[in-house]
Structure formats: C-alpha cells, structure tokens
Structure 1
Amino acid sequence: MTFVRIGGVPHHVVAEGSGPVCVLSAGLGMSWFDWDPVVPLLVPYRTVVRFDRPGHGLSAPAAVPPTAAGEADRIAAVLDALGHRGPATVVGHSIAGFHAEAFARLHPARTAGLVLVDSSVEEDPRPSRTTAPARLLGAVLCAAGLPAALGPTVRNLTVRMGTARRGTQDADPGPARTGPASAPALARTDPALVRRVYRTSRVLRGTLLENAHYGAVAAELLALREDRPLPPGLPVTVLAAPDGSARWERRQRALARRLGARYEAAEPSGHLVMRDRPDAVARAVLDVRGRQGNA
C-alpha cells in the first residue's frame, strides 16, 4: 500500500505479485478492496495494480471534475508512478469501463488487453448542464452528518444488492461460488476498514461528483470511438452479469459487437462480478496473453 501524487492529488495504490501488469479499476463509489476476491487468483501470474480514484477509497478529494481522457491519463500516471511503462491489461468495472476503454484508445501502445466487467453502457448519453445540484446535495448531507451516521450502512446495502446473494445478512460474504479448486474462499471485508472509508464526507462527495459527470464522460467516450480506434488485434472481453435481464444482456452483447470483443456472461452473478465470480474475472485477465498469441 502506497500513495502517489497525480495532478497534486494523493492517490492510494496497491501493487502485488509479479509478471505482466494488469490494473484494476472499480465502479462508482467502490474501493480497492472490492477486488480482494480476484487478487489471489492473479498474483501468482501477474503484477496486480489497484488504485482508488479521487474521492474514493483512501485517495484524496478530486481537484477537477472527471473526464474520459482525464481518467485514461490517470491510469497511465498510476502505472508511471510505479515504474510500469510497458503494456498492461486494463480492467474496468461499471463506470470504470468507460475509463478503461478510453485508456485503450488514448494509450494504445500501453494496452495489452481490455476487460470490461459489467461495464456501464450508454448509447445516447445526455450530459448534465450543471453539477451544482450534486455539489449542493453533498454539502447538505455532509453538514447533516449523514456519512458518519449512515455511510457504512449504505455501503453494505449496496454490496448486498449488487451480488447474487441479495437475501443474505452479511454484506461482504465472499463469492457466491469459488469456481476452480484453486480459488480461495473470501473472508468478510474488515468492518473497521469499511467504516474508515465510508464514514468520510470525502467518499460521498467523490461519488456524487463522478455520478454528476457520468453523462459527459459517456458522451466523450462515444466521440473517442469515432476518432481513436482500438489497437488492431487487441484482446477485448466484455464480461457481463445479465442477472435475468434480457435488455441488459442485449446491451452488453451490442457493446461487445461494437468493440469486436469476446462476450461472456458471468452467471450466477450480480453487478459486483468480482465478488460473485472472481474466477471469471481472473480467467478473462489471464486469457489475454493466449489471445495475443493467436491474434
């Protein structure tokens, strides 16, 4: 665990393992430890880099609003700070799927593979004209002490609703299935760590800021698709969690077709695929080298 300064903002970074590099970026309001079920399956074969975006996890608040290009450059800067300047497999979950794809388009020489884990999809994004309401809401909620009072509870509810075990009482129960025999069972995330992260006003504000700019980042990515093609032969996987939704599955398959990607359904799984099916995420990452050899 370390901190690196990017754009004047301290970023919390965790790097483990050895070998080819992969970088994992979690979804809106999530933290580095949400990848914990996946990491043991990767570190015997990969250098695994996790980081918290500004206002997430243990990173400091954002200095500027997020953009697709800015988040792509952030990934590059994290890797630079760790001395990893060669190609890396970039894994983005949910909204971070936008960031990972933008990285592949803006830093093609540094991209070994792209894995989108139940990525956000926007066919016709509508950017918000102002983020003032989000900032005001954040100020009001923080002044009322909501993060300290309810932050961990909201986090635990989000995890429970985002996994296949929606009916369980344990918010961090580990994967619904461990997959291969080599996949370790996951212990519950340390409640003290959850409290340390989610009782802060920083995380609430960071989540609201990213959400307010969601449409603008999606629109920017659509423009990048027109001007910045993916590298020829780049291994791309869309790992989706349809979870019974035919519409979501159609949208994820359409994303895979648009990117020339391999489509895989992670079942059973909720939106937090890295918790329900860490084996599927790890397999998609480890498969990148084999697909490069066949390209």
Structure 2
Amino acid sequence: MTVIRLAGRDVRLTTRAGHGLTVVLVGGCGVPSPLWQPVVELLPGRAVTRLDRPGLGSPWPGRLPTLAEEVDTLAALADRIGSPVVLVAHSMAGPHAEAFTRLHPDLVRGLVVVDGSVEWDLRPAGVRDRGLRMFWLAAARVVRRLLRPEPFRVLGRLAGRVVVALQSRLRIWSPMPGVAILGEPDAAASVLAENGAYADQLRDLDQVRAQDPWPGTPTVVLTAAGDGGPSWVGDQRRLADLLGADQVVVEDSRHLMMLDCPASVADAVRTVAPVGEKEVS
C-alpha cells in the first residue's frame, strides 16, 4: 500500500503487477480496499490496482468531497497506471465511475458497477441541503477529534465490524482484513463527509448525464438482491438501461458483494474485458 497525491488529494493505492489492462477496484463509502481481496484472488495474473479515497489510509482533507474531485482523481490514476483501464466501482463509487466514463471515455475500456448508488427522484438543492452539508461536515470534524484516544478507536473498530456484518453475510466475529482502519479518526471523518456529499454528487451526476452522452463502454451492472428487494432491483435495472448494460441480479448477495459473491464480480470483469485483451494503440 502506498499513499500518493492525485489531483491535489492524498489517496492510498494497492497495486499488483500483471498482464492485460489494469483492473481498478474502488469501494463505496467506508469500504476499505482490503475487502476486495476475494475478488483479486479470482483474477490471477491480471494487473490490479485498488484505490482508497482520502481518509482511508491517508489524511482526510477536512471537507466534503465533490463529484468533480472524484472524477479528477480517477483521471489522474488512469494517467499514472496507464489507460485505458477496467473500472470496478461499488456503491457510492458507481456515480463517480459513470461520470468519469462519460467525461473521459477514452480512458475506460470496461465498467462493472457493483450495487451502485442510484437516486431517481432527487429534488433541486435548497436551504435545507445547505444546512445538512454543514451538519455532516461539523460531525466529521467532531468525530475526528473524539476518536483520537485509543479507547474510542476501539469502539470505532467495533462499529466498523458491525457495519460490515450488517451489509454482508459475514458474522461480526468473522475475519475482516482492513476493517480496523474504520476506527481511525481520519477514516471515520471521511465516512461522514462522504455521506454528507452523497446527494450533491448525484445531482452533479444528473448534470453530467444531461451534457455528456453515454459512450457505449461495455458495462455490467451487478445488483445485490439480498437487501433492497424488488424495488432496488428495478432501480438498478433502470441504471442498466441508461448505460446500455447487462444487469446481473445476484440473489445470494447483500450490499458488500465483493465479500458475499466475489466470483460474480470477477466474472463481470472478464465479460467487459476478456483475458488477454490489450490496449489498442
């Protein structure tokens, strides 16, 4: 794992050399990159880079993130590791990946959206939203201070395990490599900050959708059926239709599909970027 600066922000990268186009794995809000390990093991020999956004193993910058920042970070990463890349984006990273692909279609050969965040009826931002942003930012700063003493970090690590257990088929006592980082002050602050930025980022994605057509990038939308039920499957189907993607409903998975059904994620990677595919110069 290496902390580097990309597009003006410190992020953590975990890389594995290999053949073919680099597979970039990006987790959702508060999902540390070690949770992707089961997927990495099912992609033997392939070049893989895991990205942790600011706060997870790197300093939290002290503000709410924007969609533009996330897109710029992905663009800088693609430039660093060599493009085009195969992008695998979970949950809240799904909107980041979609916006990045629309704005930089030449940098993405294939996209896998893993139970990506969707909202279809967002109202325009108003005064209430400004107040909520201020609340989330203040909460992030307070939590970062509160978690400095070790006893509170222990509670933070326990909370992280509980969240992972609630969003997967793991039990709270199961091995969870990397989850301990959620007890660190910067990590906890980043989770709150990303929650505070959620609605604004999806509104910004709607603007990108209106201005930049989908480029036809090969895409698979993986939907975890174990949490949201038929309405969630329907929302995800609408996303797949928007992206001209194949939707794969994974019946025995909850939200953290990289833990519950890593084979489904690896299969989707092979669908959008078959083994041996090279960059076309």
Normalised-by-shorter TM-score class = 0.7 to 0.9
Can you give the 5+ residue segments of structure 1 that lack an aligned partner in the other structure?
Answer: 174-187
- Report the equivalent of 1:250: 234
- Report the equivalent of 2:75: 76
Instruction: Check the 8 A contact 1:9/1:63 in 2, yes or no.
Output: no
- Report the equivalent of 1:132: 134
Say if 1:142 and 1:149 are closer, same or farther in 2 by CA, change over 3 A: farther
Aligned equivalents of 1:117 and 1:142: distance in 2? 29
Once the two structures are overlaid, the 10-residue window that deviates more, 35-44 or 104-113, is 35-44
Residue 122 of structure 1 aligns to a residue in which SS?
Answer: coil
Instruction: Check the 8 A contact 2:86/2:273 in 1, yes or no.
Output: no
Instruction: Check the 8 A contact 2:114/2:265 in 1, yes or no.
Output: yes
- Report the equivalent of 1:148: 153
- Report the equivalent of 2:108: 111
Deviation at 1:147, TM superposition (A): 4.8
What TM-score do you get using the length of structure 2 for normalisation? 0.88
CA offsets 1:111-149 (integer angstroms, 9 cap, x no match): 101111000011022442242211222333344448514
1:219 aligns with 2:211: no
Amino acid at match of 2:111: L
Task: State the percentage of identical aligned residues.
Answer: 35
1:5 aligns with 2:5: yes
Equivalence map 1:79-228=2 (5 Å):
79-82=78-81, 84=82, 86-126=83-123, 127=125, 128-130=129-131, 131-145=133-147, 147-165=152-170, 168-170=171-173, 173=174, 188-190=175-177, 193-195=178-180, 197-228=181-212
CA offsets 1:242-294 (integer angstroms, 9 cap, x no match): 2161111111111111211100011211100000000000010111135999x
Aligned equivalents of 2:200 and 2:60: distance in 1? 20
Instruction: Check the 8 A contact 2:92/2:117 in 1, yes or no.
Output: yes
Instruction: Check the 8 A contact 1:9/1:62 in 2, yes or no.
Output: yes
Aligned equivalents of 2:267 and 2:53: distance in 1? 25
Aligned equivalents of 2:187 and 2:235: distance in 1? 30
CA offsets 1:4-46 (integer angstroms, 9 cap, x no match): 11244332101113121111110111111111110011142x2
Amino acid at match of 1:66: P
1:21 aligns with 2:8: no
Amino acid at match of 1:152: R
Structure 1 stretches of 4+ with a deviation exceeding 6 A read none
Amino acid at match of 1:209: A
Aligned equivalents of 1:54 and 1:283: distance in 2? 29
Amino acid at match of 1:189: M
Aligned equivalents of 2:140 and 2:67: distance in 1? 23
Aligned equivalents of 1:110 and 1:254: distance in 2? 25
Corresponding residue pairs, total: 267
Can you give the 5+ residue segments of structure 2 that lack an aligned partner in the other structure?
Answer: none
Say if 1:139 and 1:157 are closer, same or farther in 2 by CA, change over 3 A: same
RMSD: 2.2
What TM-score do you get using the length of structure 1 for normalisation? 0.84
